[in-house]
């Protein structure tokens, strides 16, 4: 157990929910870890005699979240349910709750694993970045409560861990140990992953092609930065830019006066240079540009008011400052 005190405090909180109407809230869009965690947590809440009011995703439901929910049989809504208590799952900052952020602080509980946000939640927070996924916290919670995980629930948590550790490529020894524990509960992610890891459809392929063709590359010493703009599949396009040679990829889109940037970096940047995309990039830029930022050390997101060109320029200049090098366009060399 990574943080016994955190898990015990969370367990104590949930032991008092019997008879209350509880709704689960995900971050904007949702993702596999958030859906998997909420699925198992909702079952635990029912086991503790709570009345589960539903699972809500603010603003919109992402393709991945919708796919995982469909496989697990989880009904997702973009409307805030009526409830006595709201539990925000896998949500790193109040901004990620979007239109749900004004939930009364006395009725909000947060369960999360992201880097701490500069903006504090108005509620009771059970969070630690020591965990690599929220699914890992829910596994420890289930074991602490002696909740009997079913093979389907164990498989769901395995999928959550799998996606939040970039398909286990950044999983540490403790996370891998937990994968073994889930296997002991009968987890078999093959069926789930076969349905999730489908071949790229035409739209995603075109997004990758457009993203790479529009990309601008910058050299900061021996480090290559890449920027581009697409309207969909930003994480997929970011991975494509990494695959073609970038060390750090920034993929942006603009909608309703806001720019959303998805960041990805190679493991060597995190390991050798110690750059944390949340702590060192997304959060400082969010503070400067009056927006929000969150995510993980090697996979982060920034949402700020403005225009794409200006925001990406600020991102490149900020990273160049961190690297101690002037950014030179690769095409100009």
Q: Would the pLDDT of 4 be above 70?
A: yes
For the chain, give the percent of residues with pLDDT over 90: 75
Q: Would the pLDDT of 90 be above 60?
A: yes
Q: What is the pLDDT of residues 156-171, one digit of tens each?
A: 999 999 989 888 888 8
Q: Residue 90 in contact with residue 161, Cβ under 8 Å?
A: no
The whole-number pLDDT of residue 333 equals: 56
Any bridge partners for residue 300, and if so which? 263, 295
Q: Residue 112 in contact with residue 91, Cβ under 8 Å?
A: yes
Any bridge partners for residue 220, and if so which? 223
* Mean pLDDT computed over every residue of the chain: 92
The whole-number pLDDT of residue 198 equals: 67
Q: Would the pLDDT of 115 be above 90?
A: no
Please name the residue that has the structure tokens 């889109």.
253
Rounded Cα distance, 205 and 106, in Å: 46
Rounded Cα distance, 118 and 304, in Å: 15
Rounded Cα distance, 93 and 114, in Å: 9
The whole-number pLDDT of residue 196 equals: 75
As a whole number, mean pLDDT of residues 270-276 equals 88
Please name the residue that has the structure tokens 């390991």.
271
Q: Would the pLDDT of 180 be above 90?
A: yes
The whole-number pLDDT of residue 332 equals: 57
Q: At what angle do helices 173-184 and 134-144 cross, to 10 degrees?
A: 50
φ, ψ of residue 230 to 5 degrees: the values are -145, 160
Rounded Cα distance, 43 and 236, in Å: 31
Structural tokens at position 211: 């993203």
Any bridge partners for residue 259, and if so which? 254, 304
Q: Residue 311 in contact with residue 289, Cβ under 8 Å?
A: yes
Structural tokens at position 29: 């869009």
Of the candidate ranges 4-8, 117-121, 139-143, 186-190, the one whose mean pLDDT is the lowest: 117-121
3-class DSSP assignment, residue 122: coil
The pTM of this model reads 0.79
For the chain, give the percent of residues with pLDDT over 70: 98
Of the candidate ranges 11-15, 130-134, 167-171, the one whose mean pLDDT is the lowest: 167-171
Q: Residue 84 in contact with residue 103, Cβ under 8 Å?
A: no
Q: Would the pLDDT of 98 be above 90?
A: no
- Better-scored residue on pLDDT, 35 or 194: 35
Structural tokens at position 316: 């490149």
Under 8 Å CB-to-CB from 222, ≥6 apart: which residues? none
As a whole number, mean pLDDT of residues 68-96 equals 94
- Better-scored residue on pLDDT, 200 or 90: 90
DSSP for 301-318 reads EEEEES-HHHHHHHHHHH
Binning pLDDT at 50, 70 and 90, where does residue 327 land? very high
């Amino acid at each position: 157990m990574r943080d016994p005190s955190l898990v015990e405090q969370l367990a104590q909180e949930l032991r008092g929910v019997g008879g209350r109407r509880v709704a689960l809230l995900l971050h904007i869009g949702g993702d596999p870890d958030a859906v998997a965690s909420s699925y198992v947590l909702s079952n635990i809440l029912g086991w503790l005699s709570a009345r589960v009011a539903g699972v809500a995703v603010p603003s919109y439901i992402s393709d991945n979240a919708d796919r995982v929910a469909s496989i697990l049989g989880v009904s997702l809504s973009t409307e805030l349910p009526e409830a006595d208590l709201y539990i925000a799952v896998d949500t790193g900052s109040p901004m990620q709750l979007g239109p749900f952020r004004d939930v009364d602080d006395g009725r909000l509980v947060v369960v999360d694993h992201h880097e701490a946000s500069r903006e504090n939640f108005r509620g009771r927070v059970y969070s630690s970045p020591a965990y690599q996924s929220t699914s890992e916290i829910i596994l420890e919670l289930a074991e602490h409560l002696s909740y009997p995980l079913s093979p389907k629930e164990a498989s769901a948590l395995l999928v959550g861990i799998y996606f939040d550790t970039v398909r286990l490529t950044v999983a540490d020894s403790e996370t891998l140990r937990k994968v073994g524990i889930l296997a002991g509960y009968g987890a078999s992610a093959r069926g789930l992953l076969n349905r999730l890891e489908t071949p790229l459809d035409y739209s995603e392929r075109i997004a990758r092609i457009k993203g790479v063709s529009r990309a601008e590359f910058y050299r900061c010493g021996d480090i290559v930065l890449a920027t581009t703009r697409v309207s969909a599949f930003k994480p997929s396009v970011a991975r494509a830019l990494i695959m073609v040679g970038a060390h750090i990829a920034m993929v942006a889109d603009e909608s309703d006066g806001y720019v959303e940037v998805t960041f990805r970096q190679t493991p060597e940047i995190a390991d050798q240079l110690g750059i944390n995309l949340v702590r060192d990039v997304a959060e400082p830029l969010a503070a400067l540009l009056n927006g929000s930022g969150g995510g993980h050390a090697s996979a982060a997101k920034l949402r700020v008011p403005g225009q794409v060109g200006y925001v990406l320029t600020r991102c490149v200049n900020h990273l160049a400052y961190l690297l101690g090098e002037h950014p030179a366009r690769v095409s100009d060399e």
